Structure 1
Amino acid sequence: MPIIVDIDVMLARRKMSVGALSELVGVTPANLAVLKNGRAKAVRFTTLEALCVALDCQPGDLLRWEAESG
Structure 2
Amino acid sequence: MTPATEDEWTGVHCRLDELLAERGMTLTRLSEIVGVSIVNLSVLKNDRARAIRFSTLIAVCQALDCEIGDLLVRADR
Q: TM-score, normalised by structure 1?
A: 0.92
Indicate yes or no: 2:48 matched with 1:35: no
Q: TM-score, normalised by structure 2?
A: 0.84
Structure with the largest fraction of helix: 1
Indicate yes or no: 2:44 matched with 1:63: no
Give the distance between the partners of 1:46 and 1:19, measured in 2 at CA: 19
Unaligned runs of 5+ in 2: 1-8
Give the distance between the partners of 1:35 and 1:4, measured in 2 at CA: 9
Query: Aligned-pair RMSD on alpha carbons?
Result: 0.8
For these two proteins, the number of residue pairs brought into alignment is 68
Offset of residue 66 of structure 1: 2.1
Offset of residue 67 of structure 1: 3.2
